[in-house]
């Protein structure tokens, strides 16, 4: 679910919530931390640089965002090493 900012993201925290920095060049996404050293149900945050097809992206690593603020899709998949691997597709978290 789209949140307005960092503070809003922490209210009633759920996996699959996100917010955009004001420039829409970064998305912060909550994901389920599946690392064995974390307790079951742990929720973590990842910050990803994003761009849309019509934006020039000078960064070396960036995810393509479809431009949908309410139900975003980004690609390629998100791999937080040893913690979580999946996708944000149409506003839903999909875990491998």
> How far apart are alpha carbons 48 and 85 in whole angstroms?
14
pTM given for the model? 0.81
In the prediction, which pLDDT does 39 show? Answer: 61
pLDDT band at residue 96, thresholds of 50, 70 and 90? confident
Strands (E), the chain: 18-20, 26-32, 43-51, 63-65, 74-80, 84-89, 92-95
pLDDT digits (tens, 9 = 90+) for 20-58: 987 888 999 988 876 656 566 678 889 999 988 777 666
pLDDT digits (tens, 9 = 90+) for 61-95: 689 999 999 999 999 999 988 888 999 999 999 98
């Amino acid at each position: 679910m789209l949140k307005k900012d960092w503070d809003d993201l922490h209210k009633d925290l759920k996996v699959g919530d996100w917010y955009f920095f004001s420039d829409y060049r970064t998305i912060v996404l909550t994901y389920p931390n599946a690392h064995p050293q974390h307790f079951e149900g742990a929720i973590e945050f990842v910050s990803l640089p994003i761009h849309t097809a019509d934006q020039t992206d000078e960064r070396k690593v960036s995810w393509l965002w479809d431009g949908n603020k309410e139900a975003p899709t980004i690609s390629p998949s998100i791999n937080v090493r040893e913690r979580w691997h999946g996708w944000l597709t149409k506003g839903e978290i999909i875990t491998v």
